Amino acid sequence: MSEKERRSQPIVPVPAAADMGHRRFIERLLITVAVAAVALLLWRLRGLLILVFGAVLVAVVLSAMADPLRKRLGLPNVLALLLALAALLALFGTAFWLFGAEVIGQASALRESIPEAWQDLQDRLEPFGLAEPLREWVQSLGSGDGVLTRVGGIVASIGGGLADLLLVLVGGIYLAAQPRLYRSGLIKLVPERGRSLAAQAFDDSGRALRLWLLGRLVSMTLVGLLTWIGLWLIGVPAALTLGLVSAILEFVPFLGPIIASVPAILLAFALSPEAALWTAGLYLVVQQLEGNLIEPMVQQRAVSLPPALLVFALVSGGLLFGMAGILLAAPLTVVLFVTVKRLYVREALGTPTSLPTEGD
């Protein structure tokens, strides 16, 4: 190209340094606004997010039941899931047929006996001047903005709770029916260079969650049996129902056993102070056995979480998500615990650390 032709070409202005800095500022501002908007949206939808995690938990349980049928019998995943659901319904139906009438009768008697036991406790404490402080303390539990207030408000909203439970169950069934679809969809949201690592983190979290659920199921069963037998020997009414309540509430670490012991001790007070002491001692012994013998044995093949971490997780779950957060705080902590160890401690920091699914 000649000198004359070069001069005839249009001159493209080069952006000045000030213009480039202005563009970078606008880009960073837009990114910051977008991140803030996403964070605000997630905060507003935190109630829905905890329900989604509940559905994931249900899907993990159903998948754990369906996988042996799928692998050993060579069944399609949907058919194996349907058989697992049928087996689960048959199990609950059989249990209700064997113990349902007795549990319902004991629960009705329990509902009628607790107010009488509460009044009897106040009458026994009245001569010592402790009845009024006790009433004031119980009334104070329902005031304020603490976790107990949130729990009470959610428990009072039975209709909303049942709707949430139905949503979690239906969502869990859909997730369990096509787990690969949702797993691959989430992994595709990660940049391509990190998808392999994200898949490993998903798999590690899923295995850890299964192990933790199996461990909790064993602990819940043993605690329920021990509580039922102990209360029956003491002579506390509705021992079977109270044992079932203890087994269910054992799912919530620390807080669950305390809540389960309250109605049993109240009913025992209606019998005698000695029976109440024996009942309190029973719950204490069962929890000591669970914490020092049952739990360590179970967690050898499951997931062991630091106790302090669980305590703060329960408090945080209650403050952020209410009752659902308290119920799901422990399994959510398991997932976060494994994910942080895999992605941050091991990969980002390069620090060797064992995952719960790999052993110590």
Question: What pLDDT sits at residue 230?
Answer: 92
Place of tokens 């360590």: 296
Flag whether pLDDT at 276 surpasses 80.
yes
Question: What pLDDT sits at residue 188?
Answer: 86
Distance CA 314, CA 302 (A): 20
Letter for the amino acid at 35? V
Distance CA 144, CA 150 (A): 9
Terminal Cα distance for the chain, rounded: 72
Q: pLDDT confidence of 206, banded at 50, 70, 90?
A: confident
Report the predicted TM-score, pTM, of the whole model to 2 decimal places: 0.72
Residue 9 DSSP code: S
**Cβ–Cβ under 8 Å, residues 154 and 161:** yes
Among 192, 174, 208, CA closest to 359: 208
Q: Hey, how many other C-beta atoms are within 10 angstroms of the C-beta on 348?
A: 10
Q: What percent of the chain stands above pLDDT 70? A: 75
pLDDT digits (tens, 9 = 90+) for 283-321: 999 988 887 777 777 766 667 677 788 888 888 888 888
Q: pLDDT confidence of 229, banded at 50, 70, 90?
A: very high
Identify the H or E element spanning 357. none
pLDDT digits (tens, 9 = 90+) for 13-23: 545 555 666 67
User: Mean pLDDT over all residues of the chain?
Assistant: 77
Residue 238 phi, psi dihedral angles, 5° rounding: 55, 45
pLDDT digits (tens, 9 = 90+) for 115-173: 767 777 777 767 766 667 767 666 665 544 444 444 444 444 555 667 788 888 888 88
DSSP per-residue codes, 81-133? HHHHHHHHHHHHHHHHHHHHHHHHHHHHHHHHHHHHHHHHHHHHHGGGT-HHH
Question: What pLDDT sits at residue 357?
Answer: 61
Q: Hey, how many other C-beta atoms are within 10 angstroms of the C-beta on 280?
A: 15
Distance CA 32, CA 55 (A): 32
pLDDT digits (tens, 9 = 90+) for 337-359: 888 888 888 887 877 777 766 65
Q: What is the mean pLDDT of residues 65-78?
A: 82
Flag whether pLDDT at 183 surpasses 50.
yes
**Cβ–Cβ under 8 Å, residues 260 and 115:** no
pLDDT digits (tens, 9 = 90+) for 21-40: 667 777 777 888 887 887 78
Among 292, 283, 271, CA closest to 228: 283
Distance CA 271, CA 235 (A): 9
